[in-house]
């Protein structure tokens, strides 16, 4: 069904509402990509009628472009301003980056990225730039923490690569099953390992994990069910 003249003349233009509906596609697209998605499927995922969908969006192209922009803004670049200063600033920055790295790995699936490369190479190029810039921010953050004496002297680039590889495995149900792990316990234990790996003893003793317990629980629900 194509949008009618009446539909086109009754456009819904609220940007925050559009974003709210588009973000609902992240969970299904990370699993199945988007090449097979019809507008009927998109409307169902957004919990909209097809007629209402066309009042918000003119085409699937518009939806995928907005989805990629949201992916970059809220998934890749959410921790763009990593704090620096005292030990608490580096602890907060580490906790924020840990959570965000998990989300980046969760949604950066091969099927989604392959569809972007094939159908929208310019969007994939923009996403690659954003990921590279994020990794550079993280590298500088770690190196500042080392220079100021809060973190152990380690290869910052390898720390970032370690997270990418570890999260990729921890998010794989087959890997978890093979290793007799649950997602919740694996993420929690990896967080504890990262703290020990990164921070010097005097800083490590200052870390308050009370907020991270709830944060990790929310991340597990988001990864598993796609909850907001």
> Helices 121-147 and 60-70 meet at what angle, rounded to 10?
10
pLDDT, block means (10 residues), the chain with 228 residues? 49 89 93 92 94 94 95 82 83 93 94 96 96 94 96 97 96 95 96 97 96 93 81
Outline where DSSP puts E strands in the chain: none
Q: Which of 194, 197, 226, 37 is nearest to 101 (CA)?
A: 194
Q: Give the per-residue pLDDT at 228.
A: 59
């Amino acid at each position: 069904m194509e949008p009618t003249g009446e539909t086109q003349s009754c456009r819904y233009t609220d940007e925050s509402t559009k974003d709210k509906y588009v973000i609902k596609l992240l969970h299904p697209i990370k699993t199945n990509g988007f090449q097979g998605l019809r507008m009927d499927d998109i409307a169902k995922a957004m919990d909209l009628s097809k007629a209402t969908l066309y009042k918000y969006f003119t085409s699937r192209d518009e939806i995928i472009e907005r989805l990629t922009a949201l992916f970059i803004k809220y998934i890749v670049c959410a921790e763009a301003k990593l704090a620096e200063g005292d030990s608490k600033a580096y602890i907060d920055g580490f906790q924020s980056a840990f959570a965000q790295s998990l989300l980046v790995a969760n949604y950066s699936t091969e099927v989604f990225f392959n569809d972007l490369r094939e159908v929208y190479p310019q969007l994939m190029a923009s996403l690659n730039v954003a990921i590279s810039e994020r990794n550079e921010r993280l590298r500088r953050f770690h190196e500042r923490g080392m220079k100021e004496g809060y973190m152990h002297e380690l290869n910052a680039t390898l720390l970032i690569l370690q997270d990418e590889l570890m999260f990729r495995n921890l998010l794989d149900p087959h890997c978890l099953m093979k290793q007799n792990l649950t997602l919740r316990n694996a993420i929690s234990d990896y967080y504890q390992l990262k703290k020990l790996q990164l921070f010097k003893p005097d800083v490590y003793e200052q870390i308050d994990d009370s907020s991270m317990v709830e944060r990790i629980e929310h991340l597990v629900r988001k990864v598993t069910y796609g909850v907001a």
